[in-house]
Amino acid sequence: MLYSLPKKVEMDLSQAKWRLESTESVLVVVGLQQLRQIAGFEGSEFSEHLISLSKKAKALDIPILDLNPEQLMNAMVSLGDYVSQSKQIIFAGQITPTIKSVIQHISSITQQICMIDDAISLESKSQHIHWINSTVALGLHHMNTQTVLRLWALSAPTEFILSERGILLAVAEQLDMDALEIDPYYDLKLYGLDSVGIVSLVGLWRANGAHIRYEDFEKSIHLVDLIHHIKNRV
């Protein structure tokens, strides 16, 4: 069931003190298949938040665990591995009674658990608010999608951002493509990389120490040349 997402003032403030780090995060998306069957889900604000989170996680090489509540066993093994590695477990998606129990169980092992409070769904808005407040009482974190995206971006290491893989994944995010679909010798503008996307990418790489300009990319851009160009200007 879809409902209007709770406002920040309707939920208790998180009291958790740990800081979200992209290199330590694991994004757990629960029940995506089931959510897609709900009328009105596609194109909703909730759906857009899940898409934004998944795109940014892929761009920063953050592991994504697709957790199906109806097939928990295999996912629980992977989740247990991440918990044992002291990873930050970031939850989004469908919070069922079973998933609540799972979260309450792993909270006895680690408190580095965060609910993305505008990217989860329960039976109703009141249950949504009650669940977030319950996690606060457990000492867990919660924050909205915009904050998660900002903290992930700010904490991404420069060496990753300017690495070949980091450059590839940033381009893939701008193009809304799978990185494996990008031909390194094909003009990125023909894939749909426009001036807005170029400005965004140049800003990202400049902020991480690459001495490049928008004008460097006015002509055709191939991924292999782009990587070489950036690495020669760090």
Query: What Rg do the C-alpha atoms of the chain give, in angstroms?
Result: 19
Answer yes or no: do 125 and 215 share one domain.
no
Residues 108 and 167 in one domain: no
Flag whether 107 is in a domain.
yes
pLDDT tens sequence across 202-219: 999 999 999 999 988 878
What is the predicted pLDDT for the residue at 218? 78
- State which residues form the domain around 63: 8-154
Q: What pLDDT score does 187 carry?
A: 94
| 142 & 167 share domain | no
> Do 139 and 23 belong together in one domain?
yes
Residue with token string 């759906």: 47
DSSP 109: T
The reply to whether 175 and 203 lie within a common domain is yes
Residues 194, 208 contacting (CB under 8 angstroms): no
Asked if 88 and 61 sit in the same domain, the reply is yes
CATH number of the domain that residue 76 is part of:
3.40.50.850
Report how far Cα 188 is from the mean position of its chain's Cα atoms. Answer: 24
Question: Distance between CA 93 and CA 91 in Å, rounded?
Answer: 7
The region of weakest confidence among 12-26, 64-78, 130-144 is 64-78
User: What SS3 class is residue 222?
Assistant: strand
**Statement to judge: residues 145 and 198 lie in one domain:** no
Cα distances from 95 to residues 16, 59, 65, 128, in angstroms, run 20, 25, 15, 9
- Domain for residue 138, yes or no? yes
Q: What is the arithmetic mean of pLDDT over 175-201? A: 95
Average pLDDT, integer, range 74-89: 91
**30 and 123 in a common domain:** yes
Residue 187 phi, psi dihedral angles, 5° rounding: -60, 120
120 and 18 belong to one structural domain: yes
Least confident of 20-24, 34-38, 55-59, 73-77: 73-77
Q: Is residue 186 domain-shared with residue 140, that is, in the same domain?
A: no
- Tell me the two tokens of residue 67: 């957790």
Percent of all residues in the chain with a pLDDT value above 90, rounded to a whole number: 89
The total of structural domains in the chain comes to 2
Last residue of a domain, one of 91, 121, 154: 154
What's the whole-model pTM score?
A: 0.91
Q: Do 77 and 190 fall within a single domain?
A: no
Same domain flag for 16 and 86: yes
The CATH number of the domain where 182 resides is what? 1.10.1200.10
Residue 2 counted as domain residue: no
**Domain contains 29:** yes
Percentage with pLDDT > 70 across the chain: 100
